[in-house]
Amino acid sequence: MVHVAILDDYQRVALEVADWSALDGRAELTVFTERLEGEDEAAAVLAEFDVVVAMRERTPFPGSLLSRLPRLQLLVTTGMRNSAIDLAAAERHGICVCGTGSLPSSTVEHTWALILGWSRHLVEEAGNMAGDGWQTTLGSGLAGKTLGIVGLGRIGAAVGRVGSTFGMHVLAWSQNLTTEIAEAAGAERVSFAELLSASDVVSVHQVLSDRTRNLIGAPELALMRRSALLVNTSRGPIVNADALVLAVAEGVIAGAAVDVYDEEPLPAGHPLRSTPGILATPHLGYVARDVYEVFYGDAVADVVGFLDGTPLRQIFGQA
């Protein structure tokens, strides 16, 4: 009997959205619905587990923590990329790290929920209705505007296609983007500076790496239009949070719509929660039932595969 920890089940749905019966009699499941606060708590709580199922990057697994988990043999992360796991350290300690499938459509949909919500002041106007009031804002249309995509991968390209259906002109940039790839996605490849200065909406869809950390800071925000919206549903550290708050507060750009943060959960009182002009959501891009069904369904298969000695969706190299 192996002991399996299922971490960070904020919505208390992990056992509901997947069939875990394949592990009956083989594994004892323990679900954690609250975040483990810090490495010491994580080390103490997880020391007796053979398998850990992690929800994306909610709980970090640096080498210092992995060295304190003597029984851990299998670490499953939902999705196939997790920058919060030290893969080299896991290999040194003989811990197998594997991932699951995902549905990128959920993040695409949430990106557009943010763009439309900000453009039409949906939060404020819904509040007006709840308070028996009526319209007080003037929304912004998207047709004929320019959408800039920073990172034209699967998600970025899909966001661009939606923009095209709204009648937007789509620009794209990333470090390795070619004209051919951009054109195949229905976008125009431009320089980073041109994308920032020409776009009415800039949407970030890059992988977090040393090259992209703080990719957008005060100098980049200063290149944007005063009427522009910056959207980040990728990773928080790609956009400098302090510079973003200041840029919105001082009118350098019109606003921001943000779903990802340097620290998650975002601390209470953080200015990203309350600065006028910033629409912030608590990392909901992948939080959808159909995505969770894939995540946890594949996690079950990973654990079964590990117990049976069959091939897994193993993650190799640094995420």
Two structure tokens written together for 52:
């850990």
Is 283 a known active-site residue? yes
Span 85-101, average pLDDT: 96
The pLDDT assigned to 313 comes to 81
Is 264 a known active-site residue? yes
- Check pLDDT > 70 for residue 215: yes
pLDDT, one tens digit per residue, over 98-122 is 999 999 999 999 999 999 999 999 9
pLDDT, one tens digit per residue, over 54-65 is 999 999 999 999
Total residues belonging to the chain: 319
Cα angle value 130/134/136 (rounded, 5°)? 115
The pLDDT assigned to 316 comes to 59
Total Cβ atoms within 10 A of residue 144? 10
| DSSP secondary structure letter of residue 50 | S
The pLDDT > 70 percentage for the chain reads 99
Asked if 229 and 253 count as a contact pair (C-beta separation under 8 A), the reply is yes
- Check pLDDT > 90 for residue 315: no
The pLDDT assigned to 318 comes to 42
The pLDDT > 90 percentage for the chain reads 96
Rounded to a whole number, what is the distance in angstroms from the first to the last CA of the chain? 30
User: In a 3-state reduction of DSSP, which class is residue 260?
Assistant: coil
Two structure tokens written together for 316:
């190799």
The pLDDT assigned to 263 comes to 94
Asked if 148 and 198 count as a contact pair (C-beta separation under 8 A), the reply is yes
Total Cβ atoms within 10 A of residue 219? 11
pLDDT, one tens digit per residue, over 297-307 is 999 999 999 99
pTM attached to this predicted model: 0.93
Total Cβ atoms within 10 A of residue 18? 19
Band of the pLDDT at 319, cuts 50, 70, 90? very low
Span 220-241, average pLDDT: 98
Strand-pairing partners, residue 85, are 61
Candidates 36, 41, 34, 44; CA nearest to 9 is 34
Residues 223 and 209: their CA atoms lie apart, in Å, by 23
Residue among 91, 125, 264, 293 flagged as catalytic: 264
Two structure tokens written together for 199:
């776009």
Residue with tokens 């020391």: 47
Is 220 a known active-site residue? no
The pLDDT assigned to 314 comes to 81
- Mean pLDDT across the chain: 96
Span 17-41, average pLDDT: 97
Residue with tokens 């995540």: 295
Residues 184 and 261: their CA atoms lie apart, in Å, by 31
What type of residue sits at position 247? A
Residues 27 and 29: their CA atoms lie apart, in Å, by 6
Q: Domains in the chain and their CATH numbers?
A: 2-103+288-308 (3.40.50.720), 105-280 (3.40.50.720)
Two structure tokens written together for 81:
């990329």
The pairing of strands 51-54 and 27-31 is unpaired
Residues 47 and 70: their CA atoms lie apart, in Å, by 7
Asked if 99 and 56 count as a contact pair (C-beta separation under 8 A), the reply is no
Express the helix, strand and coil content of the chain in percent, nearest 5 each: 35, 15, 50
